[in-house]
Structure formats: structure tokens, C-alpha cells
Amino acid sequence: MSYDPLHSISPGEGLDHVDSYWAATAGPSPGDDGRLQSPIETDVAIIGGGYTGLSCAFHLAKRYGVRPVVLEANRPVWGCSGRNGSFAGPALGRVSLSEWAARWGEVGARSLWAEAVSAVETVRSLIKEGNIDCDVQPDGRMRVAHARSTVKKLEEDASVLRSFGAEFEMLTPSEIGEKHFKGKEAHAALRTTYGFVLHPLKLGYGILHMAREAGATVHSASPVLHWSKHGQTHCLDTPDGKVYAKRIVFATNGYTNERLHPTLDSRLLPVLSNIVVTRPMTEAEIGESNFVTTDSISDTRKFLNYFRRLPDGRVMLGSRGPIRESGSAPHRDRLLQIIRRKFPALHSISADYFWGGWVALTPDYMPHVGHAEDDPTAFYAMGYCGSGVSAANQAGRRLAEYLGESKPVPVQLNAQPPRYPLARFRRVGQVAAFQWYGLSDALT
């Protein structure tokens, strides 16, 4: 049976990276501490070796002298962190900017924006501090109205950004065509410089190296299969060794086994997201499409299409995946069709890579960082809703600050995620929601 986090105990054991463009171009891993093979004791055990777990481990070790142990089921950075769309931006969850003020009021929305911008700065400073060579491109982030009727969504977001005093520009279709790309489905664009694109797996490898240099231990091929607590001590069972920890951190996001700990139960909906990467564009195709921008680009669909040009002239595009893992060809071709529709000049472009990964939605579409209501020694950070390059690194840092010096996590993020009502029927609800989103996109 194919893997589904809702039903599987672990995402695997020692699996290699998915066959992605990033894995093909990242170079070798900086190494890890191998499979856990004997019982160990530690102050902090972190379950999951993606951005959340590694950032938490690095900040704990470097800033607070804690020597955490990271337990990763597969290879470090095997999950979404090594296979995402590479956009590092000021995104927290999937709540539109215009909804922020409605949910949290003016002051709350402003402090959330400050946290979102700080998350991007956290990525920047990790790259700087670790001298990580991860193909960072110039700052630039565009949201493009794919239909005339969605231009007003951009205008609403622009007015919120204005109220924050944030810098942005609104681009007309001809400005998009002259400076960025010539394509269909580009009726206006809201462009900011609060984000950039990079090589996500190289970033993850860099943070892995930094965490181990700072004193963290990172065990690969060590899935946590069972949790229990005896007195004040957490006990984590992996196939060949137990970990006894005073404090634990769940950093498993879309790959969470919700039966591992009562606080994880029914709080997430894991959803597949897919990416296609084309062959390099020819000179003629580049000339005709004028696809020269290095910005991250996303559109205004409910089923968001996100795309960018890669440094070697390929086009990367991602969007929602199927409900369950299934044969890749139809899904790859669907994404390829979107590229061809958006860029008529690329009508004969073919795909060289296609892959997917599980992102984690929450009922309120926001990430959450905190500890179990009934146990202040069991922590979690998860639910990035498909926007975790900056948010997960920031969440890992925030958790380290909380564990290291009791610094509070921003109030909008630190409540436990609500549980899904009728949680057993989440996949049924997802089918209904997907149909509605598809219909609503078709109508625009």
C-alpha cells in the first residue's frame, strides 16, 4: 500500500532522497551520525530531521549549549525540506493578508507581519552564518492575477501591505512581459522584495552541518516507532535503540504519525503537493517567452500554481497533488500542461523531473509552535500549510529560544492547533474541498 501519513506508523527507514532536481544537483550530504544503535540519554530529543528539527537543534546547540539528539526516520532533509519549491518568503500558513486583521486585529496583524519578515531574515542569517552555498537568487517575489477577476485580490493585499508600511509595486501586464516573463494568465502582479529563491536541499544540508558542528547529534535511519513517559522521562523507541529524554520536540510536519503522542491526534491534514521541472529552455524559447526573472512567482488560484526559472534555464512549476500517492505520469503531464498554457512559447517543452511530498494543513490554516496542554516538556512545531521554507526554520528557532531561555513564542502561533472535527473523515472532506476549489478556479 502506498504511504499515507494518516495511516502509516513511519515514513520509512533509511530511505534515500526522492528522485528530484534538487537531489540530482545538491552534491553529497555533509554526513550524519548514522543509525542509533544503543540506548542514550539526552536533555532534548527532536523527532524529524527537516528544517524545523535541524534549525531547532542548531539554535539550541549554538546559542544555549544544549546538545540535542535529532532522530530522522530516513536521511536528514529527506522530507519536504529537501524537495520543496524553493521559495523563502514572508508566508505564515495559508491565510490571506487581508484576513489577518480580521482574525487578529490591526496590532496582531502587524506583529504577525513582523514575524513573517523575521522568518525570512532567519533563513538569510543561517545562510550567512553557515556560509551555505545554496544558489540564492536576488530578492523578488511576485503574486500574479491569473484572471481579470482576481486582480482585486492583489489590490486587497496591497492595501494591507501599505498599512504595514511595507514596500511593494503593482505591475501591469506589459511591465510583467517586459521585465519578467511574457505569458498568458498575467493580468497584474503584486511584487515585493521580501523573499528570494534558493536550492532547498543545499540549504538543508548546510543547516545539518551547522547543527552537528555546534554539538547536536543527528541520527539517520532511526524512525521513532513508539513514545511513552515514565515519571519525568520520555522514552522513544527506534528499531535498534531507545532514547531517554527530559524534553521532546515533534518536528515531523506532513509526515507526522498522529498516534505517536496524544497531542498530535487529529490536528493535521497531510496533503500531497507535486513539482515538475522541465528540460532547459532553448535560446529561442527564452527569447520568445522572455522568461528572465529570477523571482518566485505564484498565481491567485485556490489550487495555487507556483513557478520559477532555475539557474540552468529550466522551468519549475508546482501545484496540488492527488489525494493519495499514485502513478506519476498523469500528474506530471497535468503540471506540464499548465506550463504550456501559461507560456505559449514553451508549447513543446518536456519534463526531466517530477516528484511530490506531503505538506501539513491545519484546521485554521496556520502553523503552530508550542507544547502539549498537559505536558510542558512535549513540544511541537508544524502545520506550515505548504509555506515552510522560512516558517519552519523560524519555528525551529522559536522553539530553541523557548527551550533555551523561556522566550515566548508569538501569541498568534502558540495556541495548539484545533483538532479536525470528524477527523476520521478528513480524506472525504478533502475530496469535497478539492472539487469545490477546482470548480471555483474554473469559474475564474
- Residues lying near ligand FAD in the complex (CB under 6 A) are found at 10-11, 47-53, 71-74, 78-81, 83-87, 91, 223-224, 251-255, 257, 273, 275, 318, 356-357, 359, 382, 384, 386-389, 392
Please report, to the nearest 10 degrees, the dihedral formed by the alpha carbons of residues 22, 23, 25, 30 taken in order. Answer: 110
Q: Which residues contact 432 (CB under 8 A, 6 or more apart)?
A: none
Q: Which is nearer to ligand FAD, 182 or 209 (CB)?
A: 209
Are the beta carbons of 199 and 213 closer than 8 angstroms? no
CB of 440 to ligand FAD, least distance (A): 22
Closest to ligand FAD by CB, 6 vs 392, is: 392
Contact 43, 232 (CB under 8 A): no
Nearest to 184 by CA among 352, 347, 349, 354: 347
The distance of closest approach from Cβ of residue 184 to ligand FAD in the complex, given in angstroms and rounded to an integer, is: 22
CB of 118 to ligand FAD, least distance (A): 15
Which residue, among 395, 399, 32, 78, has the nearest Cα to 213 in the 3D structure? 32
Of the pair 83, 301, the CB lying nearest ligand FAD is at 83
**How is residue 275 written as a grid cell?**
513539482
Cβ contact 253:48 at 8 Å: yes
Instruction: Please state the closest distance from residue 164 (CB atom) to ligand FAD, in A.
Output: 20
Helix (H, G, I), strand (E, B) or coil at 356: strand
Nearer to ligand FAD, 94 or 182 (CB): 94
Nearer to ligand FAD, 95 or 345 (CB): 95
Burial label for 30, CB within 10 Å (0-12, 13-18, 19+), is middle
CA 415 to chain centre: 20
Please state, in angstroms and rounded to a whole number, the distance separating the CA atoms of residues 343 and 351: 15
- Minimum separation from the CB atom of position 80 to ligand FAD (A): 3
Closest CA to 226 of 217, 216, 236: 236
Closest alpha carbon to 278 in 363, 359, 354: 354
Cβ nearer to ligand FAD, comparing 72 with 401: 72
Nearest residue to 159 (alpha-carbon basis) of 149, 150, 170, 148: 170
How far apart CA 45 and CA 291 sit, in angstroms, is: 45
DSSP 17: P
Given a contact cutoff of 8 angstroms between Cβ atoms, the answer to whether 395 and 58 are in contact is no
Smallest gap from Cβ 432 to ligand FAD, in A, equals 22
Q: Which residue, 183 or 204, is less far from ligand FAD as judged by CB?
A: 204
Choice between 176 and 203, CB closer to ligand FAD: 203
Distance CA 441, CA 235 (A): 47
CB-nearer residue toward ligand FAD: 151 or 245: 245
**CB of 409 vs ligand FAD, minimal distance in Å:** 15
Question: Minimal CB distance to ligand FAD: which residue?
Answer: 388
Question: What is the closest distance, in whole angstroms, from the C-beta atom of residue 288 to ligand FAD in the complex?
Answer: 26
Helices (H), 221-310: 283-289
Q: How far is the CB of 173 from ligand FAD (least distance, A)?
A: 24
Nearer to ligand FAD among residue 252 and residue 278 (C-beta): 252
Question: Could you give the CA distance from residue 162 to residue 216 in angstroms, rounded to a whole number?
Answer: 42
Min CB(38)–ligand FAD separation in Å: 17
